[in-house]
Structure 1
Amino acid sequence: MRVVLADDHELVRSGLRPFLEELADSVEIEEHGDLDGLLAGAPAADLVIMDLRMPGVEGAACLTRVTKAFAPAPVVVLSASQAVDDILAVARAGLAAYLPKTMPGPAMVAALRLVLLGERYFPASAIEAAGGSGESILLREAPPKKPNPLGLLSAREREILEHMIEGETNKAIAKSLTLQEITVKVHLRNIYRKMGAANRTQAVRIALENGWQL
């Protein structure tokens, strides 16, 4: 897997590396510190991660240039800003996700895995704000606010969900928890039902949207 990472702070780039390396067995990471460097040559990539406030990035037009340059690879913004206007601007520009820099590393990895599966990911606060203003541009239409589904899960179901978010297969979860694989499947069906998810990917997304912390 080839990941292009653009952030003007070397410390941030270094801190992200160990988490990005969890995305696949072999991950090649190319680093840049500004927009010009990011766009120079625009090498083929499987995933592009960029800061919203690095040198050269001025407005949504710059974001659109990046998405066009690296298409069809998904482009993700990683930013210290959690302002709803910034998040909506990123969504309108067609980017795949907006990840706050305050996001725990394992949760970020889970969100990036969703993106690589073709999903979009934006913070729950922005989804709620978008719903309130009539926006439908985020990953899905924002439904009326409901009780947090994580509160419906049993201790065992939360344990299995945690392993699932970390990317483990049913077989690996069963081995980790000393369970039969069929038992894991039964728990997963209950998790999907309680969370209103149709599959594994949706369950992970719903968990992250509702504040899941690893």
Structure 2
Amino acid sequence: MPRVLTETDVADFRERLCAAAERLFAERGPDAVTMRQLASELGVSPMTPYRYFQDKDEILAAVRANGFNRFAEALEQASDHAAGDARHKGAAVGDAYVTFALEHPHTYKLMFDLNQPDEGRYPDLVEAGRRARATLRDYVKGLIAEGVLAGDPETVETMFWAAAHGAVVLELSGKLPPGTAKELHHAMGQAMSRGLRPDPA
């Protein structure tokens, strides 16, 4: 008779399984990883992962949700600890974005470089993604409120996000030398900020 699992047991195993899955998904691609391989990584029977997750898609959603939450936490901490006005907060959030992506490339690629079908089936993943976008949008709202930028907050935030993502992907793919993404991100941010300044009264 299998022993009764406590909440701590379940949480610990799910965390270990997600850590192994993140590495294998990043190394081989999600399609090439099987539940049997995940079980083997942890030294458990092939059926054990099914006690914790319905299927591989649910594991992938959990891995991605964890990544988005860690990403959002890094951005939130950068914003909270930045001294000064909205410009300083914006610069800190931008630096945190690039730093996280370059320090956790496998996590970043799983978050943004794949289209997981039926994401709406996984509310934790949806909420984690929303949290990350909200942090990016909040600093843009601050810049607009202080009169530094003008425009629709969602559109402006998407522009800055696209610029940061593009610089990061180019460096991660070896198209830019190490360290270039952060420099390029700063230059693009300054250029866009000049173009988005409010019209003089």
TM-score normalised by structure 2 residue count = 0.26
The higher radius of gyration belongs to 2
Higher relative contact order (CA 8 A, sep 6+): 2
Higher strand share: 1
TM-score normalised by structure 1 residue count = 0.25
Higher helix share: 2
